[in-house]
């Protein structure tokens, strides 16, 4: 009888100790899960902040680039070069628009309509919101429209370059359009086109041209900078898979940004939307070709997201819904999500931030290098001529960045590197809640 009692007591003690260990293990796992959630939130916040920078850089680049080619079918018939800002810095009209064509009239009369205004009503240089196309017909960069930027990482980006340095770059002997230019420049020594063989490996070629290659830096040919890809087409296209960009799998569905271009009514200080509390445009003094006030098409809202929706806002919309201006292709139409409940679950798990910014055509940075009195606008000097620094030291074409003194390096950085050619931003405002595009509070972005 005493033996059975002792066995029962031992069993109770073992069960009690097991339950204590189980409780501790559960508490430990719960704490680990909490820590993982905290780390995940911190990671999402960091990703969203990075997307703010990505969106702002897009606006800077987009103020000048990508809008001015005129196409008929698939053929570019005219390229007017760079554009001149979201609000055109030449005449204050709605942009971005390209340069005047050769032989065009001087002044505003010679400035063409933007090529992206491709629907009714006809383009007006100084449109009111009522002069814009219907909401479901608008597309980026119309005021009142949205662009979406996914941010996966390419396996090899277009125009990827190496860190190799060619001390004496040469002009290729054939044009970019020449078929020979698309022959691999890292080819065997038997090749006799413009690649390294013609200057480095060809018997009887003047040896003085061998200096075109900095063997200590691993340069392969006459180009500077040195391309990663072996041919011009691969260099310009980036790495593709079945004709589409080839991204690193682990970088997909991680972070994205959306940019909404505000209507004039979004910043006229009438309290609608709720953040419209400062007059950035005066409706009573609207500009025109004959003069008047100034319009402001430079205000944007950047939604910064970290999560798997890839920036899609709506699961589905009717074809003529006014919200088509904010999402021409919906999540359902993209074919990337299994069903609506899956998409909405992914959206609930995302982290989002909203910022208003105002672009300006004023160029930040110091193009003349007058920072701290150190800049002398030397920058990366012409590699074909020597120059003398402020200490009387002469550097020559084959010199390296490391040959400059610390003061001269600061001067070079001040004179060349900080200058931004795509304008800047007057202010950045973080919105404490999700914006709404009407007084009724329907969310657009």
Task: For residue range 357-377, list pLDDT tens digits in order.
Answer: 999 988 765 444 333 333 332
**pLDDT digit of tens for each residue in the chain (445 aa)?**
555 666 677 788 888 888 888 888 888 788 777 767 767 788 889 999 999 999 999 999 999 887 765 554 555 555 567 888 999 888 888 989 887 777 777 766 777 788 888 888 888 889 999 999 998 888 999 999 999 999 988 999 988 887 766 666 665 555 656 666 556 554 334 333 344 433 444 444 333 333 344 444 455 556 667 777 777 778 888 899 888 889 998 888 889 999 999 999 999 999 888 899 999 988 888 887 666 778 899 999 999 999 989 989 899 998 888 888 888 899 999 999 999 999 999 999 899 999 999 999 887 654 443 333 333 323 333 333 444 555 555 444 333 333 334 444 344 444 444 556 788 899 999 998 888 655 444 555 5
Closest to 305 in 3D by CA, of 350, 342, 266, 349: 350
Instruction: Kindly tell me the burial class for residue 401, based on how many C-beta atoms sit within 10 Å of its own C-beta (0-12, 13-18, 19 or more).
Output: exposed
Task: For residue range 123-176, list pLDDT tens digits in order.
Answer: 888 999 999 999 888 899 999 999 999 998 899 998 888 776 666 666 555 565
Which residues is 244 bridged to in the sheet?
241
30 Rama class: left (phi>0) / alpha (psi -120 to 50) / beta = alpha
The two structure tokens encoding residue 402: 């490391």
Cα–Cα dist 219/208, whole Å = 16
């Amino acid at each position: 009888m005493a033996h059975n009692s002792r066995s029962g007591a031992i069993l109770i003690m073992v069960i009690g100790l097991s339950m204590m260990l189980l409780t501790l293990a559960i508490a430990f796992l719960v704490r680990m899960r909490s820590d993982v959630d905290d780390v995940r939130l911190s990671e999402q916040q960091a990703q969203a902040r990075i997307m703010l920078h990505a969106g702002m850089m897009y606006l800077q680049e987009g103020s000048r680039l990508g809008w001015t080619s005129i196409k008929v079918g698939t053929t570019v018939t005219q390229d007017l070069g760079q554009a001149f800002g979201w609000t055109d810095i030449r005449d204050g009209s709605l942009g971005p628009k390209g340069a005047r064509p050769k032989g065009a009239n001087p002044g505003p009369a010679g400035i063409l309509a933007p090529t992206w205004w491709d629907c009714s009503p006809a383009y007006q240089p100084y449109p009111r919101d009522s002069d814009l196309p219907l909401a479901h017909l608008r597309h980026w960069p119309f005021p009142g429209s949205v662009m979406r930027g996914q941010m996966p990482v390419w396996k090899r980006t277009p125009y990827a370059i190496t860190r190799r340095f060619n001390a004496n770059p040469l002009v290729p002997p054939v044009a970019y359009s020449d078929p020979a230019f698309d022959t691999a420049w890292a080819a065997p020594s038997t090749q006799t086109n413009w690649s390294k063989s013609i200057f480095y490996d060809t018997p009887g070629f003047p040896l003085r041209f061998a200096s075109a290659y900095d063997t200590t830096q691993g340069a392969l040919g006459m180009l500077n900078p040195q391309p990663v890809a072996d041919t011009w087409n691969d260099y310009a296209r980036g790495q593709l898979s079945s004709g589409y960009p080839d991204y690193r799998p682990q970088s997909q569905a991680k972070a994205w940004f959306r940019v909404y271009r505000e209507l004039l009514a979004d910043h006229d200080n009438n309290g609608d939307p709720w953040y419209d509390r400062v007059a950035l445009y005066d409706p009573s003094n609207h500009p025109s070709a004959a003069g008047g006030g100034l319009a402001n098409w430079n205000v944007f809202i950047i939604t910064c997201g970290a999560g798997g929706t890839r920036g899609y806002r709506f699961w589905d919309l009717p074809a003529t819904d006014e919200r088509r201006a904010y999402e021409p292709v919906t999540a359902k139409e993209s074919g990337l999500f299994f069903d609506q409940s899956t998409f909405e679950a992914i959206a609930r798990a995302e982290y989002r931030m909203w910022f208003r910014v105002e672009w300006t055509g004023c160029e930040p940075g110091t193009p003349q290098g007058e920072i701290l009195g150190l800049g002398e606008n030397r920058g990366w000097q012409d590699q074909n001529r020597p120059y003398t620094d402020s200490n009387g030291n002469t550097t020559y074409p084959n010199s390296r960045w490391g040959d400059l003194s610390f003061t001269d390096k600061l001067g070079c950085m001040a004179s060349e590197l900080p200058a931004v050619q795509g304008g800047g931003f007057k202010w950045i405002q973080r919105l404490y809640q999700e914006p709404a595009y009407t007084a009724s509070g329907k969310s657009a972005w």
